[in-house]
Amino acid sequence: MDKLLIRGGNRLSGTLPISGAKNAALTLIPCALLTEEPMTLRNLPRLADIDGFQHLMGQFGVSVSIQGKRPEDFGRVVTFEAQRLTSNVAPYDLVRKMRASILVLGPMLARAGEATVSMPGGCAIGNRPIDLHLKALEAFGAEIELAQGYVKAIAPDGGLPGGDFDFPVVSVGATENALMAAVLANGTSRLFNAAREPEIVDLCNLLTAMGAEIEGIGTSDLTIHGVKRLNGATYKVMADRIEAGSYACAAAITGGEVRLEGANASEMTATNNALRNIGVEIEEDARGMTVRADGPLKATDLTTAPYPGLATDMQAQLMSLLCKAHGTSVLKETIFENRFMHVPELSRMSADIATEGRTAIVKGPSDLTGAEVMATDLRASMSLIIAALAAEGETTVRRIYHLDRGYERLEEKLQLVGADIERVDD
């Protein structure tokens, strides 16, 4: 298995490209199940999770053709064609490796009238139940059966009637599943307290391009008028706001100046406000943003929340940055329990962090030191890389398959801006 070696101390400077958003891609791909016509996605990131999802689509009889396979290509263009579905079962072996497979449940149910998906197991960042996905589909008229670790959703003869659902907790995945099911329902469906992350807007925009009728896009109340059929479309995946935010933290912790080409700052307000409070300068323009940190970093308090609040997916990376800030910062994680798994590893790198429940108290600035560390989830892994870039000496990061799930060509991009990072065989 590969590991990453990082020698800290280099000031990052230059330009690095931002990829298509993993979390958007994972909900755009299953939209191919909603139509017999070809659906083409541009700017798909080259990531293990995307490969896994393409494989899953193949299991259903969807043909998948990929352009941009050359090693030097950033992003891919992939055409999915679900002319005839040969299966409506997502097996344990594929779902186990990729939680987002649950996102086939809604569109498959809408298209085929029936869908069976293995229940995703527990996950390093909390239990992550799927009850809201199932309740929303039930509200639309589906019957749900749970047996032998699988969930089976069945629509009445003639298709899903559609209905109303009020989310008791904001859920990105459940909103996505509900949207993809409602677009082909016989009637009108309404979602209240829906997630309104930019990835949801991206999903609504693709569905609209396919002929869906959705009102309230970008708000937490969505009205979906079901249509009889959807057409194919060609669509460009949005920029990855979490990747951009992660590299902004990387640039800032080294006191560097980095241009994030392709980042969409208008979708990053909470992250950019947090960075500005920490003392990082950010210049936004239509084609990207430039991050500069040439003064001392300041402590700040942060609380994660559903969009437009601060993304939980940025919490670990900002925590690393705050290790170098002057003063005491208090970070509250409100979305997932158990999302401080990076704290013991950061402590091994001489960070001063105490946790109590869902609160972490970071005292800085710490003289970070290189160490052998290992990460337990995607964003936690990135937080260790960020800390390593500012640490004295060498850091070895193991279990980097987490990073390969979510950061397209991580070490190449960091090398582009002057980081001393290499991937070696363990």
The site string for ligand UD1 over 272-311 (x = CB under 6 A, - otherwise) reads: ---------------------------------------x
Contact predicate 210/39, CB 8 Å: yes
Annotated catalytic sites, by residue?
A: 123
Distance separating alpha carbons of residues 311 and 403, to the nearest angstrom: 18
Residues in Cβ contact with 344 at an 8 Å cutoff, skipping those fewer than 6 apart = none
DSSP 19-78: -B-HHHHHHHGGGGGG-SSEEEEEEE---HHHHHHHHHHHHTT-EEEEE--STT--SEEE
Interface with ligand UD1 (CB under 6 A), residue from 101, 171, 317, 329: 171
Alpha-carbon distance of 165 to 193, in angstroms, equals: 9
- Pick one of 129, 161, 211, 216: the residue that binds ligand UD1 (CB under 6 A): 129
Residue among 119 and 361 whose Cβ is closer to ligand UD1 = 119
Compose the 182-221 pattern: x for residues touching ligand UD1 by CB under 6 A, - for all others.
Answer: -------------x--------------------------
- Calculate the CA 7 to chain-centre distance: 28
* 142 in contact with ligand UD1 (CB under 6 A): no
CA 207 to chain centroid, in Å, comes to 19
Backbone φ/ψ region at 262: left (φ over 0), alpha (ψ -120 to 50), beta? left
Q: Considering only 3-11, 124-132, 258-266, 346-354, which stretch makes contact with ligand UD1 by CB under 6 A?
A: 124-132
Phi, psi for residue 5 in degrees, rounded to 5: -110, 125
Q: Are 45 and 266 in contact (CB under 8 A)?
A: no
Asked if 146 is part of the footprint of ligand UD1 (rule: CB under 6 A), the reply reads: no
The distance of closest approach from Cβ of residue 128 to ligand UD1 in the complex, given in angstroms and rounded to an integer, is: 5
Least distance in angstroms from the C-beta of 303 to ligand UD1: 14
For residues 192 and 285, which CB has a smaller minimum distance to ligand UD1 in the complex?
192
Q: Which stretch binds ligand UD1 (CB under 6 A): 29-37, 164-172, 262-270, 365-373?
A: 164-172
Q: Is 312 in the site for ligand UD1 (CB under 6 A)?
A: yes
H/E run at residue 364: strand 359-364
Site string for ligand UD1, 316-355 (x = CB under 6 A): -------------------xx-------------------
Segment holding 327, helix H or strand E? strand 327-332
Binding residues (CB under 6 A) for ligand UD1: these are 23, 26, 100, 126, 128-133, 169, 171-174, 195, 311-313, 335-336
